[in-house]
A and B are shown apart, each in its own frame.
Chain A
Amino acid sequence: MAQWGTEQISGDQAFTSSAGKQLGLYALYTLVALSVLLYLLSVAAGNTAGGLGSGAINVERNSITITLREEPPQLDASRATDASSFVVLAHVMEGLIAYDVDNELVPGMAERWEIRADGATFWIREEAKWSDGQAVTAHDFEFAWKRVVDPETASEYSFILYPIKNAEAVNQGELPKEMLGVTALDARTLEVEFERPTPYFDKLVAFNTYFPIREEFYNETDGRYGSDADMMLYNGPYVLGEWVHGASMLWRKNPYYWNENKGFLDEIVIAYITQDVNARLNLFKDGQIVDTHLVAPMLPEAMERRWHIDRFMDGTVFFLEFNHRDGRLTRNYHLRKAMQLAQDPAELVYKVLKEAAYLPAVSLFPIWIDGVDAKFRKEYPPTEHHLDLEKAREHLELARQELGLDEFPPIIFLTGDTPVSLLAAEYYQELYKQNLGLDIRIDVQIFKQRLAKMTSGEFDIVLAGWGPDYDDALTFGDLFASWNLNNRGRYASEEMDAQVRIAQSELDPRLRMDAFGEIQRISYDDVIVIPMYERGWSFVVDPRLKGFRRRAIGPEVDYNYAYLDVSGN
């Protein structure tokens, strides 16, 4: 560019100011044009997705706005496997038996029931109705359950029906589904035969996979049952009014629902589907949603804002699971023992993870599991664990001798890609390097790849967790039975298997609990896993919303008993 030219023009004040004015005018035009465009686009967007969301609480409409972590893949209860589906299903469906506000089992669709050693009978209440006004019948349960075990349905949770006679055989295609041990004696009586004694069957039927489906409606949906709001029938306190995939949902009060002590709100709006905890916190601060959970870094701000912070345990236990397969380093008992003694879960939870609601785990069984008369852990206290470096190094030396090694090869530590598991993995890597001189190689994998490696056994240690399916110690107790497919480390011992068999079918509660006590002891003594923490959540709720519950069993958030109270107390 020629220097003299630019100087001359820039020196021309009149030109600049005149052109500047012109530019300002164009800016104004653009602004107007953009606003119009914005408006047109918003009209277009109104037809694509979303559009709900009108504050956390709407007193006139008696409605609240909440978030969901993920879009439910589909809402066919027989096939649901994820936490988000469980949340939605718990509000729009109801099983034979349900949990009340205090987590006690109460009659649901069944007004009474009877559980015997060889089977069970459920009597369905007369007021039980589907959302189209028709009665819920025993046949709806029979149909749904037979469908669950039908190989064609490919339900991943079908194993939870295995206590029913022939369920496993049907599921594996060895018997026709008509052979399943469940029969509707009449419209209101459901008869179940057991494969083996199942004293905890009442707790099982509260689970999603046991929810009913009406056959005739199912057939009308042509294989798309549960994929949209109008592709389902509901029998819970709420019905799905709208479902805009990936964006929003609307639950309305179900006019045909029988129980007046449940479902107090007229509308529950799910205006946001997001996993981002920061986005949720910001929405809560902005008064757009009624509750959110708080991760550790958010707590100081929550205190500063004078929020009433609450906590709950979600029932999941996380642990380091060893690979017990042949040829794996971690098959060696002394190595596992050394690693167990060289760590302290308290340090992990209090200093590294810093989550206020987490508990350092001391046992395979979480704190809330019931024993015979009191909590299980009170009746059967787990072995007290202390960090003991000296003993740990002794065991390490023994392991070195047994394995005939000069130096330990790297130990593969498989983990998922969530922030907490990465944090824990980094902590353990440095911990075992400092305390035992072991070389830990972290193997970070996305969810499905981690599962693939867990299944094929390509790891020495995997960071894993286990959440309860039903409210009984067995949901944790049978995890390390040699035949359990979820026993990804392939731990196998006769002693453990024998105890699990007792726990599965012993009818005397005391003897049964003794077996769980033994399982707890074996899992510590033989170092099947190293428990890390029991997960909990700090959370905050809009003070105008009462009766909101969070649960370990069933939906993680429960608005079934929630109601508005604007009195300010």
Chain B
Amino acid sequence: MWLYILKRLIQGVFTVWFIATATFFAMHNVPGDPLLNDRAMTAAIRANVEAKYGLDKPLTTQYVIYLSNLVRGDFGISFTQENREVNDIIREHFPVSAILGILAVMFAAAGGVLWGALTALYRNRMPDYIIMFLVILGISVPSFVVAALSQLALVNFNSFAGRTVLPVAGWGTIYHMIVPAMVLGLGTMAYLTRLMRSSMLEIISSDFVRTAKAKGLPPARIFTKHQLRNAILPVVTVLGPAIAAITTGGFVVELVFAIPGLGRYFVQAVQQLDYTVIMGTTVFYGAFLVFMVIVVDVIYGLIDPRVRLK
């Protein structure tokens, strides 16, 4: 068990190294120049700036310096956010993305399980049709359309209510989070609903449920102990990757709702070719992803006796 975790962690370190290297070379391959600006610089000014960021050294030297800094957990100083360390940027903005992501997954999981169970229970009846129609919408409408429309709906809702019930953008309080998290979790919720529905249907017709019914157990008990509990397992297993994917993929929602998350920073950094921020964010998110996968695998091994960790 411990050996397994250790092995996975060592593999993880290699994976992160791979990501760092891939990012480093992909980025230095990008045509363009992070130091250029609207107003042209004289050669002398330019040389000063280049020296400041160590861009005057050969690429391999830069790579070595970059890696050695990385080992010490130092991502360097941002090109555009001068005087700000990339570490600070991640420390300040990642929690925002993470909170949004966790909340979105919670919404998605709670909604997915509830709706999925409901549709299975009332299959081929009205609740099933209505929910499955919404699920289809959730799967097939692009997230930026949903985000823009829901923001518009919020404005109209507030003006109908006569006061700001839920803020239309920004970040900070409980009220700011609700709508963005729902929008962010919508696709996942739709996916989980389908997953839950099919796994419920499979269980409903399984032998042990029939046995339980034949034994005369109370329906509520059969539903909870036999059906729901077993049907939830596949849902739980996809939650880990879902958290990682949602946390690292919240750009659209962060942009539309003006949320100071790391995703928005990344998009900005790419547009500005901010080398250090791009590398910092990618490596950090890569490490986060790797770590999440390991955690999920370990937990899964602990929960499910059929899986042995070796």
Residues of A within 8 A of B (CB): 1-2, 5-6, 9-10, 14-16, 18-23, 26-27, 30, 33-34, 37-39, 41-42, 44-46, 48-53, 55, 70-71, 73-74, 76, 79, 81, 151-159, 171-173, 223-227, 244-248, 271-274, 276, 278-279, 282-283, 285-288, 417, 445-449, 451-453, 455, 484-486, 488
Is B168 a contact of A74 with CB atoms below 8 Å? Answer: no
In the assembled complex, B121 has its CB within 8 A of some CB on chain A: yes
Cα(A33)–Cα(B106), bound, Å:
10
Partner of A282, one of B30, B83, B168, B218: B168
Is A446 a contact of B39 with CB atoms below 8 Å? Answer: no
Is A246 a contact of B174 with CB atoms below 8 Å? Answer: no
Cα(A171)–Cα(B204), bound, Å:
79
Is A52 a contact of B201 with CB atoms below 8 Å? Answer: no
Known interface pairs A22-B223, A74-B83, A276-B255. Does A49 touch B96 (Cβ–Cβ under 8 Å)?
A: yes
- Which residue of B is nearest A44, CB measured? B99
A244 contacts across to B, CB distance below 8 A: 92, 260
Is A448 a contact of B272 with CB atoms below 8 Å? Answer: yes
Cα(A286)–Cα(B155), bound, Å:
6
Q: Mask for B196-236, Cβ within 8 A of A = 1, else 0?
A: 00000110110001100100001110111001100000000
Is A226 a contact of B83 with CB atoms below 8 Å? Answer: yes
A485 contacts across to B, CB distance below 8 A: 40-42
Write 7 A-B pairs (CB below 8 A) sorted by A numbering.
A18-B218, A44-B95, A45-B99, A48-B95, A274-B169, A286-B158, A455-B40
Is A282 a contact of B151 with CB atoms below 8 Å? Answer: yes
B29 contacts across to A, CB distance below 8 A: none
Known interface pairs A20-B121, A156-B39, A286-B159. Does A50 touch B176 (Cβ–Cβ under 8 Å)?
A: yes
Is A10 a contact of B82 with CB atoms below 8 Å? Answer: no
Known interface pairs A74-B82, A246-B93, A246-B260. Does A2 touch B220 (Cβ–Cβ under 8 Å)?
A: no
A52-B172, A455-B36, A455-B40 known, 10 other contacts, Cβ within 8 Å: A5-B205, A50-B260, A154-B48, A172-B42, A272-B169, A279-B258, A282-B152, A288-B168, A446-B273, A451-B33
Is B169 a contact of A158 with CB atoms below 8 Å? Answer: no
Residues of B within 8 A of A (CB): 30-34, 36-42, 44-45, 47-49, 52, 78, 80-84, 88-89, 92-93, 95-96, 99, 102-103, 106-107, 110, 114, 117-118, 121-124, 148, 151-152, 154-155, 158-159, 164, 167-174, 176-178, 201-202, 204-205, 209-210, 213, 218-220, 222-224, 227-228, 255-258, 260, 264-265, 268, 270-273
Is B169 a contact of A283 with CB atoms below 8 Å? Answer: yes
Cα(A380)–Cα(B88), bound, Å:
53
Partner of A278, one of B95, B151, B268: B151
Known interface pairs A53-B170, A282-B152, A283-B168. Does A159 touch B39 (Cβ–Cβ under 8 Å)?
A: yes
Is A159 a contact of B42 with CB atoms below 8 Å? Answer: yes
Cα(A19)–Cα(B265), bound, Å:
47
Known interface pairs A152-B48, A282-B154, A452-B31. Does A23 touch B118 (Cβ–Cβ under 8 Å)?
A: yes
Is A247 a contact of B32 with CB atoms below 8 Å? Answer: no
B148 contacts across to A, CB distance below 8 A: 278
Is A19 a contact of B223 with CB atoms below 8 Å? Answer: yes
A173 contacts across to B, CB distance below 8 A: 44
Is B224 a contact of A48 with CB atoms below 8 Å? Answer: no
Is B201 a contact of A449 with CB atoms below 8 Å? Answer: no
CB distance from B46 to the nearest CB of A (A): 9
- Which residue of A is nearest B198, CB measured? A1
CB distance from B98 to the nearest CB of A (A): 9
CB distance from B87 to the nearest CB of A (A): 12
B95 contacts across to A, CB distance below 8 A: 44-45, 48-49
Cα(A152)–Cα(B106), bound, Å:
51
Is B223 a contact of A41 with CB atoms below 8 Å? Answer: no
- Which residue of B is nearest A79, CB measured? B82
Cα(A287)–Cα(B38), bound, Å:
35
Partner of B117, one of A23, A41, A283: A23
- Which residue of A is nearest B114, CB measured? A27
Q: Select the residue from A38, A225, A286 with max chain B CB neighbours within 10 A.
A: A286
Is B256 a contact of A276 with CB atoms below 8 Å? Answer: yes
Cα(A14)–Cα(B110), bound, Å:
25
B257 contacts across to A, CB distance below 8 A: 279
A282 contacts across to B, CB distance below 8 A: 151-152, 154-155, 168-169
CB distance from A534 to the nearest CB of B (A): 17
A50 contacts across to B, CB distance below 8 A: 170-172, 176, 260
Q: Select the residue from B42, B222, B256 with max chain A CB neighbours within 10 A.
A: B42
CB distance from A217 to the nearest CB of B (A): 15
B42 contacts across to A, CB distance below 8 A: 159, 171-172, 485
A45 contacts across to B, CB distance below 8 A: 95-96, 99, 171-173, 177
A274 contacts across to B, CB distance below 8 A: 169, 255, 258
B228 contacts across to A, CB distance below 8 A: 26
Known interface pairs A52-B172, A159-B39, A485-B42. Does A38 touch B33 (Cβ–Cβ under 8 Å)?
A: no
Is B38 a contact of A81 with CB atoms below 8 Å? Answer: yes
Known interface pairs A81-B39, A449-B32. Does A38 touch B219 (Cβ–Cβ under 8 Å)?
A: no
- Which residue of A is nearest B157, CB measured? A286
Known interface pairs A19-B220, A273-B258. Does A285 touch B155 (Cβ–Cβ under 8 Å)?
A: yes
Is B172 a contact of A34 with CB atoms below 8 Å? Answer: no
Is A157 a contact of B39 with CB atoms below 8 Å? Answer: yes
Is A73 a contact of B82 with CB atoms below 8 Å? Answer: yes
Is B123 a contact of A10 with CB atoms below 8 Å? Answer: yes
A247 contacts across to B, CB distance below 8 A: 171-172, 260
Is B48 a contact of A42 with CB atoms below 8 Å? Answer: no
A151 contacts across to B, CB distance below 8 A: 44-45, 47-48
Is A447 a contact of B255 with CB atoms below 8 Å? Answer: no
B258 contacts across to A, CB distance below 8 A: 272-274, 276, 279, 283
CB distance from B281 to the nearest CB of A (A): 13
Is B122 a contact of A20 with CB atoms below 8 Å? Answer: yes
Partner of A1, one of B82, B151, B205: B205
A159 contacts across to B, CB distance below 8 A: 39, 42
B36 contacts across to A, CB distance below 8 A: 448, 451-452, 455
A154 contacts across to B, CB distance below 8 A: 45, 48-49, 52
CB distance from B127 to the nearest CB of A (A): 9
B44 contacts across to A, CB distance below 8 A: 151, 171-173
Cα(A236)–Cα(B52), bound, Å:
30
Is B271 a contact of A447 with CB atoms below 8 Å? Answer: yes
Cα(A157)–Cα(B39), bound, Å:
8
Partner of A9, one of B158, B205, B220: B205
